[in-house]
Amino acid sequence: MLLELVHQLAAEDSNSVDVERYRSMCMLTLSEMRRSQILPMGIVLPQDKRLRSFCESFLGNPTRNQSLDSLARESGASASTIARLFRKEIGTSFASWRQQVMLARALTLAAQRMPMSRIAMELGYSSASAFSVMFARLVGMAPSKFLSLDDQDTRR
């Protein structure tokens, strides 16, 4: 259900949007995301209160370039505690989890037909090429090639 809600939100035409329907879909999406242990794109949310607070703070603004130390302080834990909890509860490092969050955000923006250069800027990358390197490392192909696959599917 959550995936379908995300698809519907991304497909909404901003010129003819039913504001009440859109608002309801947004509220339901947020509610389902809060209840879910896994966000779209395999983004895991932890059970530990400190780590969950840390993750929710980051998800609220994933583009801000703050260090693990400063984000950890905001959640009331040390950076070493957060790093240990990431490994224990999520099975990965903060850096890997952060890249998955950024990739999910990039795909959401790409689904809205935002140009890659703007997506890179929106996500805080210094250049479109820096963003492309991260994308290719995680997905296995350049963003332009990945998006052309989606275009081919919609033309069929």
pLDDT computed for residue 6 by the predictor: 67
Mean pLDDT by groups of 10 residues along the chain of 156 residues: 68 70 78 59 80 84 78 85 91 87 84 86 89 85 75 48
Task: Return the pLDDT at 13.
Answer: 62
Specify which residues 39 forms β-bridges with: 43
Strands 38-39 and 43-44: antiparallel
CB-CB contact of 30 with 40 (8 Å): no
3-state SS, residue 123? coil
What are the beta bridge partners of residue 44? 38
Q: What is the pLDDT of residue 83?
A: 92
What pTM was computed for the model?
0.64
**Residue pointed to by tokens 């959640």:** 75
SS3 39: strand
Note the pLDDT of residue 153: 44
Q: Given this model, what pLDDT does residue 111 score?
A: 76
Which residues does 10 contact at the CB level (< 8 Å), separation at least 6? 108, 111, 112
